[in-house]
Amino acid sequence: MELTEKTYKPNIAQVGQPVLRQKAKVVEDILAEDCQQLIKQMMSTVEQAGGVGIAAPQIFQSLRVFIMCSKPNVRYPNAPYMEPTAIINPEIMHMSTAVEKDWEGCLSVPSMRGLVPRHKTIKVRYLDQQANEHEVEFTDFVARIFQHELDHLDGLTFIDRLESTHDLVSESYWYQRYAAKG
């Protein structure tokens, strides 16, 4: 079988693709049909991929939208459960001084895990799918998801946050060495 772009191209942008390095645009009309369809597509994509979050640039749309949907799964067995939530035009208003390094993966960086420092607690502001404004404090794993996805809107991946390349491992090695320790 001949290997062509169609053969191996996933529906999620992969590291190296230019859309992942762009600063995403502010969403002007959240209630517009195209924005609502984008949110539905993102919800479906992240569910099918088994992720706990996905940003619009990861599905080739350079807009300031991401989905947070923390739940225990194969990739994150200890994740807390939260309802899938559309986060639109997000901003971090305050970050704790406490920072913790923990393992992250990314649907756009397949087969890799990195030990990434993130703020343990953040206070954020965002609009939801109905254009309602929220101010919320997130902690621990959910704060990590928010920061990870917000980075995508600013053209960054978790690789950019590593303190050292020694903090990057293959996902298969991560499962063998770290996942078993829970």
Tell me the catalytic residues. 149
Query: How many angstroms separate the CA atoms of 127 and 124, rounded?
Result: 10
Q: In whole angstroms, what is the distance from residue 161 CA to residue 139 CA?
A: 19
Q: What DSSP assignment string belongs to 31-88?
A: TSHHHHHHHHHHHHHHHHHT-SEEEGGGGT--BSEEEE-----SS-TTPPP---EEEE
DSSP H helical ranges for 92-161: 140-153
Half-sphere exposure of 88 (CA within 13 A, CB side): 19
Amino acid sitting at position 83: E
Per the CB < 8 A criterion, the answer to whether 179 and 133 are in contact is: no
